[in-house]
Amino acid sequence: MSEGMISPERIVSAAVLIIGNEILSGRTQDANLAYIAKGLNEVGVSLREARVIPDAADTIVEALNELRTKFDYVFTTGGIGPTHDDITLECVARAFGVPCSLHPEAHDLLKEWYKERPGQLNAARLRMATAPEGSTLIVNPISGAPGFRIGNVFVMAGIPRVMQSMFDHVKNALAGGRPSVSRSVRCDLPEGTIAKGFEEIQNRFPECELGSYPWQKDGQFGTSLVVRGRNPESVNSATQQIIHMVSSLGGNPREE
């Protein structure tokens, strides 16, 4: 059930905590952050911070307690599987100061999932039916084992396909503000040429976020200029001024 809309003018904030030694070692590339960021923006929640941390209990607890008091929502990925290094569950419970116990609904879900797989619901997999007391489940239609929510923290799997299915299940129930919009202008001028005029436009539109991103292709250099904001009229006006500025400097502006 939806939590409803917060005032459109309020920025609803979120953080992502990516947990896993395999990410930090470079063995696995994170594929979840961009998906979460895009989905949050669609429902009017602004992703303000993301961290990648190891499977270390004290680090997880400390980061979680800091982020959950700083932001409206926190999303964690990774560390909720059946092996000894999957410690996120216990760390979340410790951060909230509550015990873990077998969650009856999660237990039923796993029993149903493994009904056609006799003998596979072993003690290791049953760990995935436990949850911090007071938590509610996040459905996992891909592999059965659910994630959970406690307070403003959403705990999800690290496997991208599974995480995406969990996130899609919860995102539309978030209480968000007005979604941000963005426009992008690509030009064949270097950053140094457009820097002064670009800063002046930013000063005229403090409610928007302006960013410049240099590019290089086939020996040619240029810049993509991006405008983001929650007021479509302001974003449009700033974009038009950027196009005019680039043209006046002899560039060739084109919207992407």
| pLDDT tens per residue, range 181-191 | 899 999 999 99
* Torsion over CA: 130, 53, 96, 14 (sign): negative
Same domain, 84 and 63: yes
pLDDT in tens, 131-157: 899 999 999 989 888 899 999 999 999
CA angle 26-31-32, nearest 5°? Answer: 120
Same domain, 152 and 220: no
Please say if the pLDDT value at position 44 is more than 80.
yes
pLDDT in tens, 46-91: 999 999 999 999 999 999 999 999 999 999 999 887 878 789 999 9
Same domain, 117 and 223: no
CA angle 214-220-223, nearest 5°? Answer: 25
Q: Are strands 100-102 and 130-132 parallel, antiparallel or unpaired?
A: antiparallel
Asked if residue 124 is part of any domain, the answer here is yes
Q: Name the DSSP class of 3.
A: -
Same domain, 141 and 209: no
Domain that holds residue 34: 12-171
Same domain, 108 and 53: yes
Please say if the pLDDT value at position 1 is more than 70.
no
Same domain, 57 and 156: yes
pTM for the model stands at 0.80
Q: Name the DSSP class of 11.
A: P
Locus of tokens 């307690």: 65
Same domain, 109 and 232: no
The rounded distance, in Å, linking the Cα atoms of 146 and 159 is 13
Q: Which helix (H) or strand (E) holds 181?
A: strand 181-187
Tell me the average pLDDT of the chain: 90
Domain count along the chain = 2
Same domain, 126 and 155: yes
Asked if residue 81 is part of any domain, the answer here is yes
pLDDT in tens, 218-235: 888 899 999 999 899 999
